[in-house]
Amino acid sequence: MVTMGSASILTKLSRRYEWLTPLILSISPRLPERLKSIGVRIYPEAYIGMLGFWLLVSMITSVIISVLLLIAQIGLLVALIAMCIPFIIFVLLLTYPSIIASNIKSKLESEFPYASFYMAVMISGGTHPFTSLSRLDRIGLTPTIGKVSRMIDISTKAWWLDPISSTEHIATILPQRDLSELLKGYASTVRSGGDVVSYFKRRAELIFDLFELKINALIERFSIYMEAYLAASVLLALGFYMMFMVSRTLRVGAEFLSIEAFFSFSYLLLPLISVIFLYLADISQIKYPYYDMRPYRVLLISIIPSSIVLIALLAPYISPELSLIFSPVNVFKYILIDYFGISRGFDLAISIAVSLIVLFIPPAIVEIKISRYESSVFKGAVQFMREVVEIRKTGLNPEKAIIELSGKNYGRFNKILKIIANKLAWGASLLSIYNYLEGRIRSWLTKISLFTFFDSIEVGGGTPETLDIMSSFNERLLAIEQKRRSSMRPLVIIPYIGAILLAFTSIALLGYMKESLLLAGRTLEFDQFLRTFLPPIVINAAMMGLVAGKLSEESVAAGFKHSVLILFIMILTFLLSPYVMSIFTVIGAT
């Protein structure tokens, strides 16, 4: 809310910087529209005045900081960077409305298909569209759609507009085109005396058709991302690692490919590439308003045992006191290494891999259980709702139909169904049952489906026609989800191929390098070289698993299990390194 005091300040700023308004609007002509679309109730001149004020303050501050830096002889470059602060602040304030509008648009695109499905079901039962939006807002399942509902309500009360005119007004400033067209079409249908129920049902079907097309396009885009990631993370790494090996063995290009350059590339650039692709996947995917944070909480807890394992395995490199404390662990580690006949230089890479496995296994187990449970619950709920529709067609009322079906098997949804049936038998309302279940159900899809089901009975009358529309949309939702998962699952193979290729090629090159040096009569601290060369390969292999989960199952948490499997592959490759090295050495000799 803009208070009287802040409004007075904004008015003074808009007058003081009135000369800046034409310039800013020529640079960003859509600024007034963006401010309205994000719900900022400040007129453009006042926002530009605020922008001018902060630009002036930042310019004065940066000049003072730059002068102090030059006096302190810290460096001209740092002073020049400080002088760039006003420009950065100006760009951020100018683009802030567009960034927020883009974020709102993305959220609306994610929520809109499900909200349109709910509205189509409720309107078919005789509920007013504004009532449907208000109920969605109160229940909190679609928070961004809820803000649109509040904007319409505020516009109706503040400007004394009728609901239809208010809807048209808000539709013109929404950043998401499909929702804007739905609201404009609704207003036009009402004014022309058309069939509102038929309009919403047809629009919801069209929205789901477009939703499926968007998912198909997303699958193709993720395939491109995965191929690009393989080229960037594996081929680039292999090329650099080969150059680094040559520079270490032949002692050429040591200045260009120094240890510092190797560390910068391995520990900074390669992880940064993985983070970039994780970000690209995140901004491209269709996200639900809520997601389960339990795997990430377990990940935070598992940092403790993972750190203990890492300290225990690396005790000889940390301090003599720790080496004595964890002596049995390290004795066993070296017995295992000697048993497989591999170089002791593998110990550091294997230790890091084991500690990362300890880190990722608990959250991976939690994520697997959650994803399987949620998938089973949603599938059972959809099957149950369809059978309610069929029984309802026989004339049995919805409540009795639910109680009648509570004895059937719907997988893991049965536990929830028995709670619903028991509470209905005791006379509880469907809304109170949903409120009770909301905190016990983690799956957002199951929540929105159950809420639509309960509302279609309690508010929409529960007619067979209304329930049939609801069930049909739910079945389509299930089909879309199953198609999305099955189409993206093959993408997970690519990071595994990349990790195996990286591991085997690196080991083969190491064996060939070692054999070539022996033939040339030269020596190299091979164990020390392995301790420098292999750890970043292990770390980046774990990052590949996270990218695999994000691109194939649209969740970083889904990548924990892939990281564990890839790390096991890395350890197995290290243990089999004598055989891998001998094979490629023989091939090289022939």
Q: Dump pLDDT digits (tens) for 152-161.
A: 777 777 777 7
- Residue type for position 444: W
Q: Give 354's pLDDT tier (boundaries 50, 70, 90).
A: very high
Q: Which runs of consecutive H residues, i.e. helices, occur in 265-319?
A: 270-284, 294-313, 315-318
State both tokens at 470: 């609801």
Give 111-137 as a 3 state SS string: HHHHHHHHHHHHHHCCCCHHHHHHHHH
pLDDT score of 211: 82
Which span out of 342-346, 405-409, 563-567 was modeled with the highest average pLDDT?
A: 563-567
pLDDT at 5 over 50: no
C-alpha triplet 543, 544, 549: angle, nearest 5°: 100
pLDDT tens per residue, range 66-77:
777 777 766 566
State both tokens at 38: 């994000």
Half-sphere CA count of 36, side-chain side, radius 13 A: 12
pLDDT at 255 over 60: no
C-alpha triplet 316, 319, 322: angle, nearest 5°: 75
Please state, in angstroms and rounded to a whole number, the distance separating the CA atoms of residues 399 and 290: 29
pLDDT at 221 over 80: yes
Backbone angles phi, psi at 325, to 5 degrees: -65, -45
State both tokens at 257: 């490919």
Q: Which DSSP category does 29 fall into?
A: T
Half-sphere CA count of 574, side-chain side, radius 13 A: 29
Q: How far is CA 116 from CA 119, 136, 178, in A?
A: 5, 11, 10
Q: Packing angle between helix 535-553 and helix 559-575, nearest 10 degrees?
A: 150
Residue 224 burial (CB count, 10 A):
9
Please state, in angstroms and rounded to a whole number, the distance separating the CA atoms of residues 32 and 16: 19
Task: Identify the residue with better confidence: 249 or 533.
Answer: 533
C-alpha triplet 491, 495, 499: angle, nearest 5°: 160
pLDDT score of 14: 56
- Under 8 Å CB-to-CB from 305, ≥6 apart: which residues? 358
pLDDT score of 1: 43
Task: Identify the residue with better confidence: 211 or 518.
Answer: 211
pLDDT score of 50: 73
pLDDT at 40 over 80: no
Task: Identify the residue with better confidence: 16 or 205.
Answer: 205
By CB atoms closer than 10 A (0-12, 13-18, 19+), residue 38 is buried
Whole-prediction pTM value? 0.78
Task: Identify the residue with better confidence: 588 or 324.
Answer: 324
Q: Give 137's pLDDT tier (boundaries 50, 70, 90).
A: confident
pLDDT at 22 over 50: yes
Which span out of 32-46, 294-308, 311-325 was modeled with the highest average pLDDT?
A: 294-308
Task: Identify the residue with better confidence: 244 or 21.
Answer: 244
The residue to which tokens 């309500």 are assigned: 153
Mean pLDDT lowest among 100-114, 339-353, 424-438, 475-489 = 100-114
pLDDT at 401 over 70: yes
Task: Identify the residue with better confidence: 436 or 290.
Answer: 436
Residue 581 burial (CB count, 10 A):
21
Please state, in angstroms and rounded to a whole number, the distance separating the CA atoms of residues 325 and 330: 10
- Under 8 Å CB-to-CB from 126, ≥6 apart: which residues? 460, 461
- Under 8 Å CB-to-CB from 163, ≥6 apart: which residues? 130, 152, 156
Report which of 359, 368, 356 is spatially closest to residue 299, judged by C-alpha positions.
Answer: 359
Q: Give 519's pLDDT tier (boundaries 50, 70, 90).
A: low
Domain limits, the chain: 4-100, 107-211, 215-367+490-589, 373-487
pLDDT at 129 over 70: yes
Half-sphere CA count of 541, side-chain side, radius 13 A: 32
Q: Which fold has domain 373-487?
A: Receptor-associated Protein (1.20.81)
pLDDT tens per residue, range 355-381:
999 999 999 999 999 888 888 888 998
Task: Identify the residue with better confidence: 583 or 331.
Answer: 331
Mean pLDDT, the chain, integer: 80
Q: Packing angle between helix 177-192 and helix 196-230, nearest 10 degrees?
A: 170
Report which of 117, 296, 285 is spatially closest to residue 209, judged by C-alpha positions.
Answer: 117
pLDDT score of 512: 75
pLDDT score of 587: 47
pLDDT score of 78: 64
Q: Give 580's pLDDT tier (boundaries 50, 70, 90).
A: confident
Compute the radius of gyration of the chain from its Cα atoms.
31
Q: Which DSSP category does 39 fall into?
A: T
Please state, in angstroms and rounded to a whole number, the distance separating the CA atoms of residues 417 and 415: 5
Q: Which DSSP category does 340 fall into?
A: T
Helix (H, G, I), strand (E, B) or coil at 161: coil
- Residue type for position 581: M
pLDDT score of 584: 55
